[in-house]
Amino acid sequence: MNSGPICAMVWEGRDAVKTGRVLLGATNPAASAPGTIRGDFAIDVGRNVCHGSDSVENAKKEIALWFKPEELVSWKQASHNWVYEK
């Protein structure tokens, strides 16, 4: 993460970690499906183009490395209640 500019972000929502991992693709780019970030933009594991937490517990630790609690903003989409049951 120190080889160039980065964009740190926090995603929230139902199964955010699991969904994020699907969007990123397999850790090994060669095993990543086309249409995933790693499948489309990465070649070698050692030069990975993205990182995503592998669990909610690790996400909490990693979020704390980059953000202060007051820097995080929770946002609720206007259509939330139409999309989610709870």
Annotated catalytic residues are 51
- Please check whether residue 43 is in contact with residue 54, taking contact to mean a CB–CB distance below 8 angstroms: no
Distance CA 18, CA 30 (A): 20
Q: Helix-strand-coil percent breakdown of the chain, rounded to 5?
A: 45, 0, 55
